[in-house]
Every structure is written in C-alpha cells, then in structure tokens.
Structure 1
Amino acid sequence: MLTLRRTLVAATAAIALGLTAMPAVAADIPPNDTVVTSPNVTHVLNIPKPAPIAATINTDIAFQGDYAYVGNYGGFSIYDIRNPKKAKPVSSVVCPGSQMDVTVYGNLLFSAVDSSRNNDSCSSVGQAASVKESWEGVRIFDISDKAAPKYIKSVETNCGSHTLTLVPGKGFDKHKNVYVYVSSYSPAANFPDCLPPHDKISIIKVPLKNPAEAAVAATPVVFPDGGNETQPGLLVPTSGCHDITVYAEKDIAAGACMGDGVLFDIRDRLNPRVTARTTDPNFAFWHSATFSNDAKKVVFTDELGGGGAATCNEATGPNRGADAIYDIVRGRLVFKSYFKIPRYQADSENCVAHNGSLIPVKGKDIMVQAWYMGGVSIWDFTNSATPREIGYFERGPRADGSGGGVWSAYYYNGYIYAADFNEGLDVIKINDRLTDSASRVRADRLNTQTQESYREWGWGHKDY
C-alpha cells in the first residue's frame, strides 16, 4: 500500500501543533486507500489478516511479553512482536462470535462474545437470543502454546459479553483468583437470559489453579434507578455498561455506561460501588474510559452513530462524537473540555472516538487513540482544558466506498499497534520530543482496560 506525506506544509504544521483545523477541501482528503501521516509519525509495517479469519473484522488488542493478541469477529490471532519491524502471525484460532474483546492473564486469554450462538463451541452458529438454549458470554483459552491455543472453558453471562475487563485480586487473593468484569446491555422481554431491567454487570471469578472452575460470582446492579434513559439524542437508553476500565492498584474504576459516566470503588472486587456519576447532553453513547497515570483525570469517549456514521465533519462539529476530559476533584467528575481530531473526513468515512491508551511519558498526559476511518491520533491532554493533537496516521477513503478503519490503537514498548477492520495489524512509530521519553518504559503486559501505573524505567511486574 502506498504511503504519502501531505505536502500542504501550512495545514500539516497546524495539525501537528494541534491548531484549529482548516476547512475541509478536496486536497485535505487523502487519495483512496493511501496511508497519510504527520511528519513525526512513520508507518513501519502492515500485516494483513491471517487467512483463517481474513473474512471478518479485527477488533481489540492485548499484549504480553513479546506477543500481541488481536481479537476478530471470527476468533483471534497471536503475533510475534519481538522485532516490531518484522512482526508476524504465529497462529489464529477460528472461534466466531462478536465482538471478541480480548484480555490476557498469565497463560489465559479471555474473549467476549456478544452474539447469540446455538452453543458455546468454536463451531457454533448464530441463533436467536429468544431461544432459551442459546449461549453468549466469555470463552477462556490456554495460550501457553502460542502456536496451538486450547479452548478450556466458557461462562455464560446475562446479555452476553460486549466487553470484558480483567481485575486482579487483592492481598493473598491475588495469587489465588482473578476476576473478569463483564459489560453487557440491550435486554428484551423475549430474551430469557437477558430480561429487562438489566442495569448490571456480571463478575466472573477465575481460580488460577483451576480456571475450568470459572463461574459468575456476582451480578451487582449499577443503576438501581434505571440510569439515563430520557436524554434527547441518546443512541440507546442506559441498560448496563459498554466498557469498564479498572485501576486496580488504586481500587478505582471508570464505567462508560451508554448514557452515563461512572466512577466505582472496587476495594471489594465482588461488590463495586458507584461513587460518582455524570451525564453529558453532547454524548450519545458513553463508550470507553482511560485514566491519566496519576488518576486525577479520566477521558471518556462518545461513540456517536455507533461507529457506523461519518461524524468527523464540519456538520457534526467538535463536541459530538468526541472525547470528554474530566478532572477528578474530591471524588467527583468535573468536566474540562472536549477533544476531537482536527482533520475532516470524507462523507463515506465512518469516524468517531474509539479505543486508545496512554503513552507512558513522565509528567505528561498523552494518549494514542483509534478513530475508525479517521485513523490514529496522538494527542496531549496534560492541560485538561486545552487538549491538542500532536501526530496522526490515517488512510484515505476506501476505493470500494465501504467503511471500516482502526478499531483500537495502543502504545506498547516503543511502538503503536493498530487493529484495522479490513487491513489487518499496523505497526506505527512516533518520533517526537514530547513522547521520546516513553522509550525508557518497558512493560511486560498491557490490557488497556486493566490500567497500571508506569514509572520512568519500567513497570517490571512479575506477579503474573
């Protein structure tokens, strides 16, 4: 695939510095199927989807050691990233079921299934949720052999598992159990295993010595009053959470819960307690959350249009389909500003705020984030009132007129990895004085919804 740098120097400089976007003109939109980057970003490598799952879309990514685990509606793939410039697939597991949010813990991989199946096997087919015997929930795999992962257990959960969040235990329990917070929603009166009102999460307890005994241990109700259901412009009313990010060492979590943004106290892993809650008239769907490293801020994303609409345009404006930055002040969420990419996209390009992670820069709050067909944005929210983009990667519109783009983009040990619906796995590098110090931080794992603090010379966690 062709790679191109924009030649409009003034426009590029404005974008790189985070200044106001210029009005969209034809020259601003890259040629079809062409990669474009800011001057400080390099497209290192693209790895097409492996053949066994090439027909279905890529989703989330988890990392451990020298491997990346990429979810896909058809299953998941494992990539060897010891040399990011020569990253390559190791294996693919064909095990269909949207949306295959993935997380890893030791030799275990957990995958989220939010599509009703006729059974829990990897050979299952779709079956209506109105059928009592249908299954959806969490699948657990043994990944000790990267070339041949083994499916070892499934756990059915109410309304399935749209996303999942790994939560380590505390104290002595840390070496005995791990917990999985399961986010799900959209109940219906004719769904026997997903009846309204839902308004809860499911918590799976996984015994580390015998993960085959994993089971739902609690189903705490997050919204006993029903949550935000009447705000104009909501994509759908609150009936649960879309995604939860935990900061386990600080015993807190942030929930992106459809029409609500929530903070939790998770000192009791089986009984998370809501401590703060907010809504936003500009938000259609609270989608995901990221804490700053010091946990004094949290970034929430709004998936306006459900990820399928062209919302990165002048008509939509800068405050919808964006990130909202909140300071956490005495345990409360205090709104500071919105951030949205300053590059208009074509009307054929679905684009909205999506999954990202911090870049571990000491003393700074810098994030890399996916924007579907808007590509990948690197942006600075150190001053939560004046966020700015400092770099980007994107592709032009697809020649066939279809959508897609980057579902998730995360920084891991010096490189950015981006899972594209159609194009596979992209490896990206940023070279910028604002982010250069991140190269001194080495991680041995990254599950972005299980946030951990970073230190200048490395995380060095060896407990799992």
Structure 2
Amino acid sequence: MSNSDDIKPDSAKGFALLGHSDQGGRGDGCQVMINKGHAFVGHMFSGGFSVIDVRDPRKPETVNFVAAPPNTWSIHLQTHGDIMLVINEFDFFSQYQSETDYYGGSVNETGDQNFAAGIRVFDIANPAEPREIGFMPVDGKGVHRIWWDGGQYAYASILPWGYTDHIFATIDLSDPTKPREVGRWWIPGMWTAGGEEPQWTNRWALHHGLEANGIVYSAWRDGGLVLLDVKDPTKPEMLSHLNWSPPFGGGTHSCLPLPDRGLVVVADEAVADECADGVKYIWVVDVREPTNPVTISTFPTPSDADYRAKGGHFGPHNLHENRIGSFQSSDLIFATYQNAGVRAFDLTDPFAPREVAHFVPPAPKNWTDYRQGRPRVTHTCDVYVDANGLAYTTDFCGGGLYILEYQGSSQR
C-alpha cells in the first residue's frame, strides 16, 4: 500500500492522481491490464506478475503475486473475460547489463541457463486467484509479447532457435488449455538455420503487432512497420514494409491502428540514456492503401522540461491500445514517454497532433532495477485507460502503479 497524498508529481496538467500502489513492494511494472476490477501487472525485475484490487481506485490493494520460473520474464500479459495469457521468456537483463548490448543486435545466442519459454494460460474467473490451466512451450528463448482481445487467434512475437531475433506467430486458442502455434512469418534474412543471411547490422526484431480487420500492424524495432494480411491467420502474408531507420534511430515498438480513419499510430522506443540514440517520435501513418503506407506527421515532443538532460530514457514507449471494454478513441491517444511520464494527445487533425495532458511521476522511492549505474528517475512504462477515463500507468524501475483521472474531453 501507499498514500497518493504523499506523491507530488514533477509536472502535471489535465490528469489528477487518484491512487497509487507499491504493488506489494514490487514497484517495477511493465504491461498492465485491467479486468474484473483488478489490475494485472507484469514485473520487469521482480520475476512474475502481481494482482491489485482497484475497485476503489483511491485505495488499491495488492492481493496476489505469482512468481515466474527462475531466469524468466513475465513482463507482458493479456486478459479477456476469464482468461489471461502471460509470456515466459529468458530474462535478458540477467545477461545484458549494458542496454547497448541488448538493443544493438541479435539476442538469440544459445546459453546454458535454465528458464521457461512459452505462453502460460490462467483462469481468472476469480481475479484475485489466477489458476494456471495451460502452457504452450516455445523451442527457443520464449515469447516477448502477445496481442489477444478475445477470439480464436492470438498474435505473438516469439524467439525460436535458428532465427536472428523475434518473429511473428499465430496462436490458436480455441482450446485455452492447449494453445498451439499455427502460423509463422519473418522478414527474409532472419532464418539463419535455413541458410538466410540478414542484410542489416542493427536489431530487426518483432516487438508486437495489433490486429484490425484482418491486418496486423506490427512494429519491428529497427526494421520499422510491417503490415501483415492475416485473413487466413495460419498463412500470414506481407502487404507492405515501411522503415524510417536510418535516417531516424529505430526502436519501433508499438502500433495503434485506427481503421475507421485509415491511420496507424506508431511509437519508436527510446532505448538509450539522454537521447544517445536520437530523439524518438510517435508517427502518424496513412494506411488507407495498406500496400503503400505513408507517414504524414509526428506527435509533438514534450517540451515542458529539459527531459533530455534529466537522465535515463526520454521518448515514447507504449500506447493505450483501444482494447475491447477499455476507453476507445480514434482522436484521443495516450502514450508513455519514460522519464517524461504519460501524455495524452488530440489527433483530431492527423497532420497536426497536439498534446492536451501529461503526468510526470516523481523519482521512485523504492528502486527495483538491479542493473548497475542506472539513472534514478521515473521511467513510465505502460498505460491502460478504462472505459471511465481512468489511466493506469506503470513504472519500469520501481515507482509502482499510478491511477490517474483524465480531466479533458472524452472524444471517442
């Protein structure tokens, strides 16, 4: 528990802090899902996931923690109805203390550490007591992130042996107790075990993709944006590939399709301290013709403080993903900016996005990041906005869960 009255944001406009949780002393948080009045938070350094009762957003209460297997990440998860999917992947930060090593090239070297690799399925009919009911193993280093909003198929980034890095996979969930891979796609050059050779020297790897109307809009780190036709989910086919790195710094991380407007919002992740990898942007891409995507604008870079000099990462990370049952809008976009907190943007004019709100938490009091020499500033990681306009944000390094009320217009 913690008292939100004791928390003074570094900067705030258009957001009010309602509640805060230290997540049972495990303040590091990555992806957050809200379901059945509970927040499910994957941890970056604490090895598992936590469940926080948020039915009273002013008094959140941590009610459970489920540990991951040794040397294993469970940083990302998905919920829908009574089912939750949790990734299992090798804990890369136990191997790569230098961020340059992790983000700079292929991460699929073999190793002798024991870890779990795959997708775990939990029954969350009782949200405070997740019950494991299934597991899909991956022959490799595991699963990084999943997109699943109900239905038969989930879409995941997986890291099998024999590939340079994470590739795309379709997962059949018709029997949640026995999920199985039924489709696969990768950028030519990634399958080294099949004799392919990459034509790049940086890191081309799928972070994740979101599906809308039979198209998956996928982010490929330094490889940019790829649109995949999944009308037959077992046979993904590329529709188009757009990459702005170089000249821009890469790190393409998150896509938010807005199919009613023929747009996709794409965030490039800042992965180096003090913008050593360049200033990163959130791009607006016109995809009315999915075989020919065109960038038309970028979101404004936060300028209310000198975040570049603040230390740590300054730049985009995650986008609120307009999930079923959550706040959904094609005009109001929520994004996290790491040391610059969480931001809301008005996209009414796609050629001139403008910022309308922000909340920058203070530096975490309890530091969970076990890497040496990391700058002790907030690193806002993920944001989930519920149907009532409450924004739940996590901190990568130890700040816990912040529950914010957006006080601007609720355009939909």
Could you say which residue in structure 2 is the equivalent of 1:144? 125
Q: Which letter maps to 2:353? A: P
Could you say which residue in structure 2 is the equivalent of 1:244? 209
Deviations along 1:217-252, one digit per CA (max 9) or x if unpaired, are: 23x223125599666xx8x331x41111112xx112
Q: Which letter maps to 2:81? A: G
Max radius of gyration: which structure? Answer: 1
Deviations along 1:303-331, one digit per CA (max 9) or x if unpaired, are: 132xx5232xxx877xx312111111322
Deviation, structure 1 residue 207:
2.9
Deviation, structure 1 residue 197:
4.7
Is 2:238 the counterpart of 1:274? yes
In 1, Cα distance between the equivalents of 2:4 and 2:32? 25
Question: Contact 2:48 / 2:74 at 8 angstroms: preserved in 1?
Answer: no
Question: Contact 1:116 / 1:160 at 8 angstroms: preserved in 2?
Answer: no
Deviation, structure 1 residue 393:
0.1
Q: Which letter maps to 2:228? A: F
Deviation, structure 1 residue 212:
2.5
Matches within 5 A, 1:294-443: 294-305=260-271, 308-311=272-275, 320-331=279-290, 332-339=292-299, 340-343=301-304, 344-345=306-307, 346-357=309-320, 365-397=331-363, 401-413=375-387, 414-421=389-396, 422-432=398-408, 435-437=409-411
| Unpaired segments ≥5 residues, structure 2 | 93-108, 192-196, 368-374
- Residues 268 and 402 (structure 1 numbering): CA distance in 2 closer, same or farther, change over 3 Å? same
Match of 1:286 among 252, 263, 272: 252
SS in 2 for 1:391: strand
SS in 2 for 1:386: coil
How many residue pairs match? The answer is 364
Could you say which residue in structure 2 is the equivalent of 1:165? 147
Match of 1:70 among 8, 25, 41: 41
Is 2:60 the counterpart of 1:93? no
What TM-score, normalized by structure 2, do the two folds share?
A: 0.78
What TM-score, normalized by structure 1, do the two folds share?
A: 0.70
Match of 2:162 among 176, 192, 195: 195
Question: Contact 1:261 / 1:278 at 8 angstroms: preserved in 2?
Answer: yes
More deviation in 277-286 or 84-93?
84-93
Question: Contact 1:349 / 1:374 at 8 angstroms: preserved in 2?
Answer: no
- Residues 3 and 205 (structure 1 numbering): CA distance in 2 closer, same or farther, change over 3 Å? same
- Residues 391 and 134 (structure 1 numbering): CA distance in 2 closer, same or farther, change over 3 Å? closer
Q: Which letter maps to 1:367? A: I
Match of 1:256 among 209, 219, 222: 219
In 1, Cα distance between the equivalents of 2:360 and 2:264? 25
In 1, Cα distance between the equivalents of 2:114 and 2:42? 26
Deviations along 1:343-370, one digit per CA (max 9) or x if unpaired, are: 3314323222011216788985111111
Deviations along 1:353-396, one digit per CA (max 9) or x if unpaired, are: 01121678898511111111210111122222211111100024
In 2, Cα distance between the equivalents of 1:364 and 1:201? 26
Q: Which letter maps to 2:403? A: V
In 2, Cα distance between the equivalents of 1:113 and 1:2? 32
SS in 2 for 1:201: strand
Question: Contact 1:278 / 1:333 at 8 angstroms: preserved in 2?
Answer: yes
Is 2:28 the counterpart of 1:57? yes
- Residues 85 and 335 (structure 1 numbering): CA distance in 2 closer, same or farther, change over 3 Å? same
SS in 2 for 1:310: helix
In 1, Cα distance between the equivalents of 2:128 and 2:321? 30
The sequence identity of aligned pairs, in percent, is 20
Deviation, structure 1 residue 275:
0.7
- Residues 107 and 39 (structure 1 numbering): CA distance in 2 closer, same or farther, change over 3 Å? closer
In 2, Cα distance between the equivalents of 1:362 and 1:149? 27
In 1, Cα distance between the equivalents of 2:49 and 2:364? 24
